[in-house]
Structures are given as structure tokens and as C-alpha cells.
Amino acid sequence: MSGTTPLPEKFDDLPDKRRYWPAPAGSEEEGLGMLRILTPEIVADAARTQIQTGERVCLNWNIENLSPPGFGRKPFEHRIKWVAEGVAFDDEYHFNPQQSSQWDGLRHHNAPAPTPENPQRRVFYGGTTSEEIIDTDSPRIGIGHWAKKGIAGRGVLIDYVSYAEKRGIPLNALSRQMISLDEVQEIVQECNITFQKGDIFFLRVGLPRTWAAMSPEQRKAYSEQPMPQHAGIEQSERVLRFMWDHHFAAVASDAVSFEVFPAINEEYDLHHHLLAGWGVPIGEMFDLEELAATCKKLGRWSFFISSSPLNCARGVSSPPNCMAIF
């Protein structure tokens, strides 16, 4: 990855703020998206500086959550069967990665890309079309590109839950509660966080707590909403500028949608810009509870991240199989 195209340094340097597609169509570099900036040098530096105590925290939420899932998604199923009667068991998993902790791959979400001939045109990262994604012979921008080397580097936690608790701000992760960039930057200042190129940005919004406090009836009602509400970071040009100027390799949250949903500002929809526009992986519904507790205990908000997406060439999304090491 040492020969990849250099990134424009600042948001204002982007010739097209909505799209940065520097790699040839169908190439490995295109398939990596912004993960291409996780060079061996950046990963090695993260390992040297972040792995100090050897404490480990896995960030995978229970694979059965959310149950029942929203958006009409298939619920999780797990079956245990004899593979050799009386001798050995196998198990069978039937699940949608979007039901629990997952990376949104570059095939997950497209964005408007109108042309004079086709004002309704929408495409995925790199200009990939839905026809290419459905094509069983095309692995273009599939999650399999990420699986070859995984996702590894320096993670940084922005703990909005603790910030809200200290200020008496009520927090409901399944509401249209918006976390402002000003609040994020205040947390950054309070925690003496300095971002580095290639960081993986984590935002804790508190979904596991919200979900744990809900009754079965409330969970069912959530799953049946035609347009559920999710807390998350604001959509704005300021946020896009913040994301680009820090050159994050990926972003993740314990929220359902990472950004506030339904979008408060459609023009700056982060899925459009980050996934379809810049190739930045978006992690959702990560379990950040123990991560936050460990950060508080150690008095540090950065750590080494290791994530191994499923090796499925045409995959749209994947459980993160993610671990933080301190």
C-alpha cells in the first residue's frame, strides 16, 4: 500500500467534496477505500505506542442483538445439530450482520450522483453500480478486500455517555438525539486527545444501556417502526471537514446509525459522504461499555485496534471481530 495516491491534506483541497475516488475501478486500492492509509508504518507505530499493559477488551455486542431487529431485517437464528450422532456437534448460524455489531462495507450504501441524462442516478463508492454488486462474478468493493489484511491501528474513544452523565444530560440512544461537533471537541479537549493520521474514531452513545432498560414490548415496538429514530453525531459540513482533516481510516459507534437518524441535514448525510464518497468504513452497534470503563481506569483514551472482517469477496457488511488492546 506504499504506492497509493496521496490524500489531499485538507477538506478545502478536495476538488469534489462529495467524492474522492482516486483508485482504478476494480482495483485492490479501490476495494480498501480509506483503509489504504493504514500502512505498515502506521500500524507498527500504533502497536509500539498503544500496547502497554496487555489488557484486552472485545467490542462485539451479543450477536443476537438487536432482537427483534429493525428495518424488517431477518432475526438471528442459531441451531446446534449432531454432525455425527452421539460423537460431535456442529452449529448453524443464520443472521444479518446489520442486526448487531458490524462494519458497513462500501457496498452497503450508495449516494446521489445525478447526471443530465439521469437525474435520479445513484452509485456506490468508486462509481460502482447496483448491477455490479448484484453480479455474482463481480467482487468490486466487496468486504473481501478488507479481510485480506484486516483493520489494525490506533483507536480513539470519544465517550459521550460519560460527558452527558457529568452534565446531567438525559440520553436515549433510540431517539433523534444529536451529538454536536462542539460537544465532541469539548471531550477531545477535556481528555487531552490528539488525533493522528489513520486513527479509528469511536463514539460512545450508549445503545447497550438503552436496550438493556427496554421491556420486550418496547423492543418489539421499536422493531416495527417504519422509520426508527437513532441518536448520533450531527450531519454538517463542519463534521465532514473534521473527519477529512483528521484523515480517519474508519469511524465506529455503539449507535445504530453512527449519525443521527433520520438525518437532520440530508445535504451532509454521513453515509453518503463517508461510505459512498470517501470509502471510510462505518462501524455500528459496537459494544463500547467495557472499553469506556478500561479507558477511565487507565486514564487514557487511545488503544490498539485489531479487527478481522469476514473473508467474503462480495460481502456488503461484516461482524467486526474487533479487539482493543491497551
Single-letter amino acid, residue 110: N
Q: Is the dihedral of CA 298, 300, 301, 302 positive or negative?
A: negative
Pairing of strands 282-284, 102-104: antiparallel
Distance from C-alpha of 65 to C-alpha of 142, rounded to nearest angstrom:
25
Per residue in 252-270, pLDDT (tens digit) is 999 999 999 999 998 999 9
Return mean pLDDT, the chain. Answer: 94
- Note whether residue 265 is domain-resident: yes
- Note whether residue 49 is domain-resident: yes
Distance from C-alpha of 38 to C-alpha of 45, rounded to nearest angstrom:
11
Whole-number pLDDT of residue 65? 85
- Note whether residue 292 is domain-resident: yes
- Note whether residue 140 is domain-resident: yes
CATH code of the domain covering residue 226: 3.50.30.50
Whole-number pLDDT of residue 4? 61
Average pLDDT of the segment spanning 92-101: 88
Task: Give me the percent of the chain exceeding a pLDDT of 70.
Answer: 98
Average pLDDT of the segment spanning 133-150: 96
What the block records as the C-alpha cell of 106 is 462500501
Partners of 306 in beta bridges: 152, 323
Distance from C-alpha of 310 to C-alpha of 312, rounded to nearest angstrom:
6
Who's near 274: CB < 8 A, 6+ residues apart?
Answer: 243, 251, 280, 282
Who's near 42: CB < 8 A, 6+ residues apart?
Answer: 153, 154, 197, 198
Average pLDDT of the segment spanning 53-79: 88
Q: How confident is the model at residue 317 (pLDDT cuts 50, 70, 90)?
A: very high
Distance from C-alpha of 155 to C-alpha of 152, rounded to nearest angstrom:
9
- Note whether residue 39 is domain-resident: yes
- pLDDT of 70 over the 80 cut: no
Distance from C-alpha of 244 to C-alpha of 259, rounded to nearest angstrom:
16
Note down the domain range covering 315: 21-68+96-325
- Note whether residue 88 is domain-resident: no
Whole-number pLDDT of residue 1? 44
Per residue in 238-254, pLDDT (tens digit) is 999 999 999 999 999 99
- Note whether residue 84 is domain-resident: no
- Note whether residue 103 is domain-resident: yes
Whole-number pLDDT of residue 2? 41
Residue 249's Cα: distance from chain center in Å? 10
Task: Give me the percent of the chain exceeding a pLDDT of 90.
Answer: 86
Whole-number pLDDT of residue 99? 84
Q: How many domains does the chain have?
A: 1
Per residue in 182-237, pLDDT (tens digit) is 999 999 999 999 999 999 999 999 999 999 999 999 999 988 888 899 999 999 99
Average pLDDT of the segment spanning 37-48: 97
Distance from C-alpha of 115 to C-alpha of 95, rounded to nearest angstrom:
37
- pLDDT of 293 over the 80 cut: yes
CA-closest candidate to residue 262, choices 98, 105, 70, 91:
70
